[in-house]
Chain A
Amino acid sequence: MSARILMCGNEALAEAAILAGCDAYFGYPITPQNEITAYMSRRMAEEGRVFVQSESELAAINMVFGAAATGKRTMTSSSSPGISLMQEGMSFLAGAELPAVVVNVMRGGPGLGNIAPSQGDYFQATRGGGHGDYRTIVLGPSRVQELADCMVLAFDLADQYRITVMVLADGILGQMMEPVVLEAKQRRELPPKDWALTGADGREQNIVRSLWLGEGALEELNNKLQAKYQQIQENEVLCEEYQMDDAEIVIVAYGTVARIARTAVDKAREEGINAGLIRPITLWPFPTKQISAAAETFRMFLTVEMSCGQMVEDVQLAVAGKCPVLLHGRPGGGVPGVEEILEKIRQLTIRTGAA
């Protein structure tokens, strides 16, 4: 399948997961990610692999937990409310250090919300919506090709670090069709899964657990997890910079919004305004260093999100007061247009007397 074909994001990410060797998919119907479940039900059967439509998202994440515990590559997908139901499972996956991939095709929230695109689950994804100190790698692609590539990367990262990797898309990215090239890729150098539950045949029993009652035992586990997260923060950040050389105002945006912001940057440049774009691809680990470095030489940061402002806080942390960080946020399924971003750029640059 290495030809260039037109595919919607949901189906492209599903096929990419299959190419990455996904052994088992567990899911539950919820808009706007239904194409993933439907596609997987057909394709996984064709590949002789496991597909289960579960009784709830809560059950789905626990089926992932079971398959992952036996060393299989496994995933689930859902949209915002469903991902909320999975948060207990996410914490258990972190505590038991199990590799898994979870796709969230975000929709408007809170509550039942709507089925329009949104980025309102950023906090939940990057801070962890479950209990306890844990991190989840979070990827934020902005094109169908990148969404597919992120799936392959996600399975490698999950196995390499024994961690859950979340891929954030949204209603637009999931539903839109773009040309994509899908081909199996060389896997990273991955550690053996000698911890997996395969039946203690001729070896000591393996135990997968997250209960550590002994004095100091859980603290020790947490320290081990934090060391892992530190390693990921140092080695796995992905971020794209666009037109940053002489930029006086830097837009920070990810996913679908980054595409819109890119056009706004181009138009601003046509009007003589030196705008640039930093596009985080890994939302956790966040590109703090890159943004902090940018803040040394630039005067203005404008974060654009489909939410009331969540990633903006990470930008503020990175910039650490060196210069102003502003927000243009559209919650509840609102999608910022090019013109409104451009208008905001104009206002900000006029005030600072830019040429």
Chain B
Amino acid sequence: MKAVHKRTPVLKDCPTHYCPGCGHGIAHRILAEVIDELGIQGRTIGIAPVGCAVLAYNYLDVDMIEVAHGRAPAVATGMKRTNPDSIVFSYQGDGDLAAIGTAEILHAAHRAEPLTVIFINNAVFGMTGGQMAPTTTLGQVTATTPAGRQARGEGYPLQVSEILALLPGTVYVERCALSGTVSIKRAKAAIKHAFELQMDGAPGLSLVEVLSPCPTYWRMSPGDAMKWIKEEMSQVFPIARLKG
């Protein structure tokens, strides 16, 4: 018998705190597989956000740091500038990156920091109970948009990838999804490419936005959540390789 799919040792062998069907679990796994396959476990430093993935250091077996909400790109800058040979990635949710941390991600890209950013967009604040995030879609009901998000009052879903792709400081921007086997494989390929760019010393920031299911706060089954990404969410956040 030949094993074709085994759990990578970079993903620590323990249960996670994530909800059933949560996209973070999938994202962690493909990220760990990429670090394993690229053989960089010994020189990678990961930055965990504040949000559901704040406990990522319990699951990813690389040197990890947990930082203030939204500040990961600034912390990453401090790390990469002083340790150019380390592979530094930040793993952030939409509240962390697109709400409180907007300035940090924009300026890390603006300064062309050679970092790898994994941006998990699940359209809500998960850890705190499903509040509206900047990427909540119009009409989407959340803990803080009980009548569904309205443009008047709550503005429009923030398209981070498109914004950052405009900046000369980004070398690679792709939006993927965790909505089925093919899309997960493409997300893994994108993450791998983002890491390879940093390994090759590409002069700028790589960002992989990953549309990720949040069954609990979308009030859907995991299967329906993936379907919702395919049918609804990706209309608002088009799956595309925007740059590099």
A and B: direct contact (Cβ < 8 Å)?
A: yes
Which A residues touch B64, using CB under 8 A?
197, 205-209
State how many angstroms separate the Cβ of A65 from the closest Cβ of chain B: 5
**Within the complex, which residue of B54, B63, B78, B110 is in contact with A74, where a contact is CB–CB below 8 Å?**
B78
Which A residues touch B19, using CB under 8 A?
none
**Within the complex, which residue of A26, A55, A202, A211 is in contact with B66, where a contact is CB–CB below 8 Å?**
A211
- Kindly state the separation between the CA atoms of A50 and B82 in the bound complex, as whole angstroms: 6
**Within the complex, which residue of B42, B54, B77, B82 is in contact with A200, where a contact is CB–CB below 8 Å?**
B42
A211 with B83: in contact, given A65-B75, A66-B78 (CB under 8 Å)?
A: no
- Kindly state the separation between the CA atoms of A207 and B59 in the bound complex, as whole angstroms: 12
Decide if B86 touches A198 in the complex (CB within 8 Å). Answer: yes
Decide if B63 touches A206 in the complex (CB within 8 Å). Answer: yes
Decide if B74 touches A62 in the complex (CB within 8 Å). Answer: yes
A67 with B66: in contact, given A59-B74, A62-B74, A211-B54 (CB under 8 Å)?
A: no
* 0 or 1 for each of A87-118: is its CB under 8 Å from B? (1 = yes): 01100100010000000000000000000000
Decide if A89 touches B68 in the complex (CB within 8 Å). Answer: yes
Which A residues touch B80, using CB under 8 A?
66
Which B residues touch A207, using CB under 8 A?
57, 63-66
Total B residues in contact with A, Cβ cutoff 8 Å: 36
Decide if A59 touches B81 in the complex (CB within 8 Å). Answer: no
A297 at the interface (CB under 8 A from B): no
B158 at the interface (CB under 8 A from A): no
Decide if A200 touches B63 in the complex (CB within 8 Å). Answer: yes
B140 at the interface (CB under 8 A from A): no
Decide if A52 touches B44 in the complex (CB within 8 Å). Answer: no
A24 at the interface (CB under 8 A from B): yes
8 A Cβ contacts from A55-95 to B: 55-56, 58-60, 62-70, 72, 74, 88-89, 92
A210 at the interface (CB under 8 A from B): yes
- Kindly state the separation between the CA atoms of A65 and B70 in the bound complex, as whole angstroms: 13
Which B residues touch A69, using CB under 8 A?
65, 75, 78-79
Decide if B104 touches A26 in the complex (CB within 8 Å). Answer: no
A205 with B104: in contact, given A63-B75, A198-B86 (CB under 8 Å)?
A: no
State how many angstroms separate the Cβ of B42 from the closest Cβ of chain A: 3
A202 with B42: in contact, given A52-B81, A59-B104 (CB under 8 Å)?
A: yes
Decide if B104 touches A208 in the complex (CB within 8 Å). Answer: no
B190 at the interface (CB under 8 A from A): no
B76 at the interface (CB under 8 A from A): yes
**Within the complex, which residue of B42, B44, B54, B79 is in contact with A66, where a contact is CB–CB below 8 Å?**
B79
Which A residues touch B57, using CB under 8 A?
205, 207, 209
A199 with B42: in contact, given A92-B67, A205-B62, A209-B65 (CB under 8 Å)?
A: yes
Decide if A210 touches B104 in the complex (CB within 8 Å). Answer: no
Which B residues touch A52, using CB under 8 A?
77-78, 81, 111
- Kindly state the separation between the CA atoms of A189 and B68 in the bound complex, as whole angstroms: 31
A199 with B44: in contact, given A55-B103, A65-B75, A70-B83 (CB under 8 Å)?
A: yes
A201 at the interface (CB under 8 A from B): yes
- Kindly state the separation between the CA atoms of A92 and B50 in the bound complex, as whole angstroms: 13
A23 at the interface (CB under 8 A from B): yes
A59 with B63: in contact, given A66-B77, A199-B43 (CB under 8 Å)?
A: no
Which B residues touch A55, using CB under 8 A?
74, 103-104, 106-107, 110
- Kindly state the separation between the CA atoms of A208 and B103 in the bound complex, as whole angstroms: 23
Which A residues touch B43, using CB under 8 A?
199, 201
* 0 or 1 for each of B28-61: is its CB under 8 Å from A? (1 = yes): 0000000000000111110100000011010001
**Within the complex, which residue of A92, A201, A202 is in contact with B68, where a contact is CB–CB below 8 Å?**
A92
Decide if A197 touches B79 in the complex (CB within 8 Å). Answer: yes
Which B residues touch A201, using CB under 8 A?
42-43
6 pairs from A and B in contact (CB 8 Å cutoff):
A24-B81, A52-B111, A55-B74, A55-B110, A96-B65, A207-B66
A contact set with B: CB distance below 8 Å = 23-24, 26, 50, 52, 54-56, 58-60, 62-70, 72, 74, 88-89, 92, 96, 197-202, 205-211
Kindly list the 3 A-B residue pairs having the minimum CB-CB distance in the complex, ordered from nearest.
A66-B78, A201-B42, A63-B78
